[in-house]
Amino acid sequence: MYLYGKNSVNERLKADPGSIRQVYLQDNFNAPHITGLIRAAKVPVKMVSENDLMRIKRADRLQGIVAEVYKYKYTQLEELLDGAGEKRPSLIFLDNLNDPHNLGSIIRIAACFGGLGLVIPEHSSVEVNETVIHVASGGENFVPVSQVTNLTSALLNAKKAGYWAVGTVVEEGENLNSVSLPFPLALVLGSEGKGLRYGIQKHLDMKVTLPMKGAQLSLNVAMACAIFCHEIAKQRKQ
């Protein structure tokens, strides 16, 4: 896999330099804080022209740096469920999410709030690919992501481990502004178009709705996730 852009590579150098196999720098690259980290981590470097860099990774805004890294390593769901007390992260289950930009944004959001882990299904879902990692802007270093064979079974395993299953719905859920969220929390977010599947909904302990009194428009799943993560972080401190 390839990371590209200063922020993504910089965060990986700080968090997990051992996952970087090689860094390619454009011959006029000038970012001493990054080159210093590269030298400190003793990561192999190759200076290349702008054209050669584009041949290595064809994408917009490479910012003069591309890093070849090992394939993304998912976290086993059991590892997320085995924690105790404050070490147990709040979990976000993502149902029918297919846009890599949304997943990347959600990873970045979860990293900013902290104490969160993600669970995605292996099928009918985007995986953590190069686009996701680029959009996450380093957030993948701070948020464990578990890829499971069956999302419903994974949710049931979380419930057996003591988690409360809370699903987000557009209408007829409890008002997020007034509800007391149960912890440890497994929050389930659906896609914009399909929402939550019935097979997921029937196992929920609670449904919550984000009240919106403005225009009859919908937030995309990443925007909604940011609001829910803010509420999770706020109530977790109380």
The burial class, CB within 10 Å (0-12 / 13-18 / 19+), for 12 is: buried
Residues of the chain with pLDDT under 50: none
> What token pair was written down for 144?
């464990």
How far is residue 116's CA from residue 210's CA, in Å, rounded to a whole number?
Answer: 20
Q: Name residues whose C-beta falls within 8 Å of residue 215's C-beta, 6 or more positions apart in sequence.
A: none
The side-by-side arrangement of strands in the sheet containing 2-4 is: 2-4, 65-69, 20-26, 45-48
Instruction: Look at residue 170 in the predicted model and tell me its pLDDT.
Output: 82
Instruction: Look at residue 191 in the predicted model and tell me its pLDDT.
Output: 75
- For 170, phi then psi, to 5°, come to -70, -40
Residue type, 8: S
- The dihedral through the CA atoms of 210, 133, 74, 147 has a sign that is positive
How far is residue 208's CA from residue 195's CA, in Å, rounded to a whole number?
Answer: 13
Please tell me the pTM assigned to this model: 0.93
Domains of the chain: 2-69 (3.30.1330.30), 77-237 (3.40.1280.10)
> What token pair was written down for 151?
């999302």
Strand partners, 5: none
- For 109, phi then psi, to 5°, come to -60, -45
Instruction: Look at residue 237 in the predicted model and tell me its pLDDT.
Output: 77
Taking only the tens place, the pLDDT of each residue in 13-37 is 999 999 999 999 999 999 999 999 9
